[in-house]
Structure 1
Amino acid sequence: MAVPDLLRLLTSVPSYHNRVTHIETTEPDPARYAVPKRPLSPRIQGFLDQNQIHLYSHQCETIDTARNGKNVILTTPTASGKSLAFNIPVFDVLEADPDARALYLYPTKALANDQLHSLNNFSKYTGIATYPAIYDGDTPQSKRATIRENSRIVLSNPHEIHHVLCWHTKWRPLLSHIRFIVIDEAHRYRGVFGSHIAFVLRRLLRLCRHYGSDPRFILSTATLANPVEFAGSLTGRDFVSIDTDGSPHGRKHFVLFNPFFNGISEKSAHQETKDLLVSCVKENLQTLCFTGSRKMAELVTLWSREDARLTSHRLADSISVYRAGFLPEERRALEQQLRNGSLRGVVSTNALELGIDIGSLDAVIISGYPGTMMSTRQQAGRAGRKGADALAILVAQGNPLDQYFMHHPDRFFSRSHEHAIIDPKNPYVLSGHLLCAAAELPLNEVTDQQYFGPGLPDYLGDFEDNDLLRKTSRGWVYSGRGRAADAVRLDGMPGEIFRILCQGKLLETMDRGHAYREAHKGAIMLHQGETYVVNEMDLETHTIRVTATDVDYY
């Protein structure tokens, strides 16, 4: 069934049509192509020709700006080809300089794995030896030294970089020759968390200077109200913003769906979400459903499978859940099933909000307003990645904000993008990273002001009074107990990770907050739509032991 047929279903079936309060249709937009001002190398151009890729105008503008030595922030919408826009200038430099290297930072492991596949293809087709590799918490110890020594493109995340900077001597090959730092989905780094990441990047740049390199930045983000200001605050550098999208877009229908259209609801918004998901999957629309929590993602999956099983066991098996906590091999298997189309319905937290390439999506269901227009448009943008008609449905919760949008659709669709705010002057954030920086290299109270601000000398004196820093002939060095990086939590969350074991087999992992809420002794836990009872929670070893059980409650 095509998207228009499902729209007719929504507007004609009695259980649906009263709940459809508004349908906003965006007409197709043709592609605008261009060519770089300076021709690409034969190998890179050959890759584009072989894959029948014609560059869009914003991709060429990004390539030209990066080639001119400028820092770039690219803010075009989801599915506009941002990855290719920053990969080409990176490969351009790596081809010309055999020693050159690049660092790619991603906010999620799923996104890094997706981009590793693209980089390997690019390297293979062009013959440019880059040896891209992921370096994060899942990387086996046996492979880490090889990646540090040989990989010319290292993919990681800010948390990992935060912890490895103190071992910078092992990273000399990268830090000495790094030419680009690429930060994908950079809008995720805002608020207090973003302020932490800003100082991680300043510490990284400080080490790059120590080893004689001066990398340029390419940032890609969702559409922001203040891209240049945001990029400058995040990195401490000046930027050029590129925001004119040249990619084509198919017709998109955005449905506002209100279960509380008459003030009350016969079903919960989550049950309505389940019904919509099953309807989409039955009509062969590959659908991604976003929910607000891990538990709700599991429950909607469980309910959807139960409903779909009444039609076909095969249909039920084509619905799955995707969320944080899954083991790496589970995540990668699900991502592959999304790409090859064997999964028809996926229920996720915002783990799939970002730019993982799953191009066959027909529809997106958003269960409750995500809190920002930035996230709403990111999630809705996951449908229609191949230029075909696409459908997005926002299912309203009963709260006042969701209901306001349902009754004032003009205000919803005319809302501007949010500002992304970072405060590099936050003393509570800055102080921790000063200790980390001193543990990495002795601090100079004059030259290091470019990274940590003019108030640096005042902090140094205070730390000396508290026996955290000590002045030496080389500068100020860290003298506290324990690793400085361990004392600074980038996300403000407790650091313990609990392992969930079933009959000795690792089922998933949870941070402490989720474990206390969802996996205490006696709790019924959901994983991949199956139920487990928690038998033991060991706070010393951070181990939770569960047993599979068949109950109709949670």
Structure 2
Amino acid sequence: MTFPATVSAGTGAGDSHPAGRPGAGELLDRLRARAPGAAVAGPVTHVERIPARPGTVAEWPEWVPADLRAALAGQGVSAPWRHQVEAATQAYAGRHVVVATGTASGKSLAYQLPALATLLADPRATVLYLAPTKALAADQLRAVAALGLDGVRPACYDGDTPRAERDWIRAHSRFVLTNPDMLHHGVLPGHAKWSAFLRRLAFVVVDECHTYRGVFGSHVAHVLRRLRRQAARHPRTPGQPVPGQRGGAAGPPGAATAAGPVFVLASATSGDPAVAAERLTGLPVSAVTTDTAPRGGLTFALWEPPLLPPPTANAPEPADPTEVAEPTEVAEPTEVAEPTEVAEPTEVIAAVSADAAPVRRSALRETADLLSDTVAAGVRTLAFVRSRRGAEVIATTARRALDEAVPGLGARVAAYRSGYLREERRSLEQALLGGELLGLASTSALELGVDLVGLDAVLICGYPGTRASLWQQAGRAGRSGREALAVLVARDDPLDSYLVHHPEALFGRPVEATVLDPANPYVLGPQLACAAAESPLTPADLELFGEGAKEAVEELVAGGALRHRPTGWYWRHVRRPEVDLRGTGGAPVDVVESATGRLLGTVDPASSHFQVHPGAVYLHQGASYVVDDLDLDDGCALVHAEEPDWSTHPRDVTSLSVVSVRSYLDAGPVGMFLGEVDVTSQVVSYQRRRLASGEVLATLPLELPARELRTVAVWFTVSPESLAAAGVEPADVPGALHAAEHAAIGLLPLVATCDRWDIGGLSTAAHPDTEAPTVFVYDGHPGGAGFAERAYRAAPAWLTATRDAIAECGCEAGCPSCVQSPKCGNGNNPLAKAEAVRVLDVVLANLAAAGPTEPGESDRSDRG
């Protein structure tokens, strides 16, 4: 599906905005005029104007009860949009359906109509709503509760729900809102206690289903199959109506039967949503993709921070302590699940000279300045940033700037991220909705469908990794129908630099398909173990879990986890299997202030190696703490309040070995491979750098355990003879491969639904397993996530974009916009830019001569 067509760039003439606040075009002009470097070329590389669009209404379906219509009218919904009626009618008729339309298009009503109509018609029916984040579930609870419908009794059941309330919810709530984690850890293992709810289950709503991608999505796919299995084991009460059979009328062909509930999925605009929904649920799903809701105009600017002047010995440019390797936002479901960070290492840790390459102004600083400018203008603004630390820094910097201009104005800006306590998150959400806050710096926690009415601008600090996520974040603004402004602030990164100078890669292009692989054995085996622990597996269950289930069960039997009896396969252990859906490595690590015992927040276990290692600086709502101790066994990091004049930067090392080859292409002197690899990484030290100058004050060792990962990788080899013939001297081979690796990782999101934090890489002039110069790029998830497979199939397009990004960059020796990486474990040394282009020329020429790369028999990325 393609994002709606745009018209030519403009400055927003005709903006409609309340008095006292600038319109989108005027606001952009103000920001341009005040930006550093505006007097020269200016930071804006492109402006796209997306016009307003009227909506198309439809009649209320006859089956919608009068009291539900009246309740919706009381909330301002006088008539539904056509796509809402189309999706709701299919669901009410018993068909599984996914509605995949734009941000703020009213997808909630598409599932609320059939679900609530059923609850009102049948006092015994129940509905289960699944959201990827707690914030979204809480928002939907507010929306359903505000309707005031008798007998619905909506309630949130998640990790924040007090124990005293859980029994009441199981017994009395008919509209339960939860998340896949709680379904996996709480509901399904206790299905006997939920039997009354499950046997009456009419609908399962899966909101923001495009977020269930990669390994996390593959896990959720099997959690939903386990839900279907338990719902079928607790059959409906005789005589209970089912969707498609209201009032005794039989539903259409394909309508749901008493065997299970109807699934209604909601997704952002995505590529091939029906296929993704079918893979997620294991059911046939129809898609509603035509967006008939009205949309306010959007002015979308691409913004590249200016180059900084070369540093001098007397006046060093202040370093940005946040522009370092940051673990990806992985958290108990406060925000979208993201995989743990994987480093891009080489064998030796080294520093890079401060004047080795031109450096652009930090995207974090630029975003903080823009946020302070928009808040000063009275514009409600949401700034998205990729890391927790980045959110804290942007909020703190903006607050300071605003307080210097107008004392007290800084209090209207805050940070929002995972790891905050429940009370803090709910308070921030209410403050933003109520207008007490004008600016919020957030991780992806607020990317999803939380109804943030009244926002006028969105700042996106760095490309979020996919076009789907980009439009989802941009769509947070203008949700009340007014003109809005979105600004993508490029990081000093190959992909960001490429996109701001190639706007055609963003605008008018189809958004990515959701990648998940339920057949991944590293997911399927543990999920079958969970299912067996809930109730014995049967041959019919193996069909439910799909491809590879029989082989996975046989492995579990051989490993002693299951016992085969005539009635099925039984779990042999007393304790349930421990399976982590989000790849966070287990329970979160508590961050505790040692002097008071106060719980500040939480960090997932894998990120703890980077964020709360001993000696690390930890930021929380503008306050600074230093970590005294990290106890991984007890899951606790002790910290004390301190404002040091230095920042901390962890360093790690990685080794990789090839386990097996799934597919390969012999291209003469070049080989392209897809296979399984073992990756071992360890955080071994950290640097203290002075805040004012970036000067390295000390490098201190760390004793943290190594982390091991078996995953899927794509790699290419190049013969030394072909490199020599291309003019790459032996001494330059390590730097050439290292530079090509960095750029290839940065550009992989062009062909796969990932960002560079989803993946890792390694390059070497002579790898022991390949016996040749080699560049590896691997998925940062156990068992793989489908990214390497897509890279393998699209190798020519991927590596061509990589080669062009390096060659077109205006720097001389390589910079963060082409071959330097923000998460390199080797300090971006050595790098050889020109030689990297020659390496890629050799690879591309030989791949073109050999023909397309085709997946081998074991390439499962498109199966499901």
Q: Which of the five TM-score ranges fits, normalised by the shorter chain?
A: over 0.9
Residue 411 of structure 1, CA deviation: 2.9
1:481 is displaced (CA, Å) by 5.6
Comparing 316-325 with 515-524, which one deviates more in the overlay?
A: 515-524
Q: 1:82 to 1:416 in 2, by over 3 A?
A: same
1:440 is aligned to 2:540: no
The equivalent of 1:548 in structure 2 is 641
Q: Structure 1 CA distance, aligned partners of 2:294 and 2:366? A: 32
Partner residue in 1 for 2:228: 205
1:402-442 Cα offsets, whole Å, 9 max, x none, are 11222222332132110112222222211111111111111
Q: Identify which of 104, 116, 119 aligns with 2:129.
A: 104
CA distance in 2, matches of 1:326, 1:229: 36
How does 1:157-172 map onto structure 2 within 5 Å?
157-164=179-186, 165-172=188-195
Change (3 A) 1:11 1:296: closer
Distance in 1, Cα, partners of 2:559 & 2:614: 42
Q: 2:613 maps to what in 1?
A: 520
Match of 1:52 among 71, 76, 89: 76
Is the 8 Å Cα contact of residues 395 and 414 (structure 2) preserved in structure 1?
Answer: yes
2:89 corresponds, among 57, 61, 64, to: 64
Matched, 1:20 2:66: no
Q: Is 1:256 the counterpart of 2:256 in the alignment?
A: no
Q: 1:95 aligns with which of 113, 120, 125?
A: 120
Q: Which deviates further from its counterpart, 365-374 or 509-518?
A: 509-518
Matched, 1:508 2:624: no
Stretch of structure 1 that moved more, 138-147 or 535-544: 535-544
Q: Which amino acid aligns with 2:571?
A: Y
RMSD (Å), alpha carbons: 1.8
Task: Render the CA deviation track for 1:254-274: whole Å, top value 9, x for unaligned.
Answer: 001111479955622211111
Q: Tell me how far 1:515 sits from its aligned partner.
A: 2.2
Alignment of 1:145-224 (within 5 A): 145-164=167-186, 165-213=188-236, 214-224=260-270
Structure 1 stretch displaced more, 488-497 or 107-116: 488-497
Does 2:483 correspond to 1:483?
Answer: no
Are 1:492 and 2:583 matched, yes or no?
A: yes
Residues 18-61 of structure 1: per-residue CA shift (max 9 Å, x gap): 11111111111112111134252110111123333121111111
Cα pair 1:36 1:63 within 8 Å, conserved = no
Partner-residue secondary structure (3-state), 1:168:
coil
TM-aligned CA distance change 1:494 to 1:454, over 3 Å: closer
Deviation at 1:149, TM superposition (A): 0.9
Query: What is the rounded CA distance, in whole Å, between the counterparts of 2:232 and 2:63 in structure 1?
Result: 31
Is contact 1:259–1:265 with CA below 8 Å preserved after alignment?
A: no
Q: How many angstroms does 1:443 deviate by? A: 1.1
1:400 aligned to which of 494, 503, 522: 494
Give the aligned partner of residue 386 of structure 1. Answer: 480
Q: Which of structures 1 and 2 has the bigger CA Rg?
A: 2
Paired with 1:449 and 1:419, the residues of 2 have a C-alpha distance of 27
Instruction: Give the counterpart of 1:241 among 283, 287, 294.
Output: 287
Aligned residue in 2 for 1:2? 22
The answer for the alignment partner of 2:505 in structure 1 is 411
CA distance in structure 1 between the partners assigned to 2:199 and 2:58 by the alignment: 35
Cα shift readout 1:305-329 (whole Å, capped 9, x = no counterpart): 1111101232101110000000001
Query: Alpha-carbon deviations, 1:453-480, whole Å to 9, x = none?
Result: 3654444333323221112343211113
Determine the C-alpha separation between the residues in 2 that align with 1:432 and 1:266. 46
The letter of the residue matching 1:547 is H
The answer to whether the Cα contact below 8 Å between 2:605 and 2:632 also exists between their aligned partners in 1 is no
Inter-partner Cα distance in structure 2 for 1:355 and 1:37:
25
Alignment match, 1:469: 562
| Alignment match, 2:470 | 376
Q: Given residue 2 of structure 1, which amino acid in structure 2 is its aligned partner?
A: P
Query: Secondary structure of the residue that 2:205 maps to in structure 1?
Result: strand
Structure 2 unaligned residues grouped into runs of 5+ = 1-20, 237-259, 309-356, 648-864
Give the conservation status (yes or no) of the 8 Å contact 1:74–1:219.
Answer: yes
Looking at structure 2, the residues matched to 381 and 476 of structure 1 have their Cα atoms a distance apart, in angstroms, of: 48
Distance of 1:522 and 1:455 partners within structure 2: 46
Judged with a 3 Å threshold, the aligned counterparts in structure 2 of structure 1 residues 545 and 458 are, in CA distance, closer, same or farther, namely closer
Seen in structure 2, the aligned counterparts of structure 1 residues 350 and 52 have a Cα distance that, compared at 3 Å, is closer
- Residues in 2 aligned to 1:26 and 1:379: alpha-carbon distance in whole angstroms: 15
User: 6-15 vs 292-301, which deviates more?
Assistant: 6-15
How much has 1:68 moved relative to structure 2?
1.3
8 Å CA contact 1:10–1:20 kept in 2: the answer is no
Alpha carbons 2:36, 2:306 under 8 Å: kept: no
Tell me how far apart the structure 2 counterparts of residues 12 and 453 of structure 1 sit (CA, whole Å).
58
Tell me how far 1:542 sits from its aligned partner: 1.9
Look up the SS of the partner of 1:79 in the other structure: coil
CA distance in structure 2 between the aligned counterparts of 1:260 and 1:412, rounded to whole angstroms: 21
In structure 1, what is the Cα distance between the partners aligned to 2:548 and 2:290? 39
Q: Residues 67 and 544 of structure 1: is their aligned pair in 2 closer, same or farther, counting only changes over 3 Å?
A: same
- 2:91 is paired with a residue of what secondary structure? helix
Aligned residues: 548
Q: Of 225, 228, 244, which aligns to 2:274?
A: 228
TM-score, normalised relative to structure 2: 0.62
Aligned partner letter, 1:306? R
1:146 & 1:299 partners in 2: Cα distance? 42
Q: How far apart are the structure 2 equivalents of 1:89 and 1:287?
A: 35
Secondary structure in structure 1 of the residue aligned to 2:590 = strand
> Residue 6 of structure 1: CA displacement?
1.1
Could you tell me how far apart the structure 2 residues matched to 1:208 and 1:172 are? 8
The DSSP-based 3-state class of the residue aligned with 2:189 is helix
Distance 1:32 1:261, change over 3 A: farther
Contact 1:182 1:219 in 2 (8 A): yes
Give the aligned residue type for 1:287: T
Moved more, 172-181 or 447-456: 447-456
Is 1:29 the counterpart of 2:53 in the alignment?
A: yes
Alpha-carbon separation, structure 1, partners of 2:603 and 2:122: 43
SS in 1 for 2:506: helix
1:16 and 1:89 mapped to 2: Cα distance?
A: 54
By how many angstroms is 1:121 displaced?
A: 1.0
Corresponding residue for residue 249 of structure 2 = none
**Alpha-carbon distance between aligned partners in 1 of 2:613 and 2:396, rounded to the nearest angstrom:** 21
Cα distance in 2 between the residues matched to 1:189 and 1:13: 40
- CA distance in structure 2 between the aligned counterparts of 1:19 and 1:310, rounded to whole angstroms: 25
* Cα contact 1:36–1:64 (8 A) shared by 2: no
Q: Secondary structure at the match of 2:190?
A: helix
Structure 1 unpaired stretches of 5+: none
The equivalent residue for 1:327 is: 421
Structure 1 311/552 Cα, relative in aligned 2: closer, same or farther at 3 Å?
farther
Deviation of the 1:14 alpha carbon? 6.1
Note closer, same or farther for the CA distance 1:462–1:538 as it changes in structure 2 (3 Å cut). Answer: closer
Give the match's secondary structure for 2:408: helix
**Partner amino acid for 2:277?**
A
Report if the CA contact (8 A) 1:36-1:61 is conserved.
Answer: no
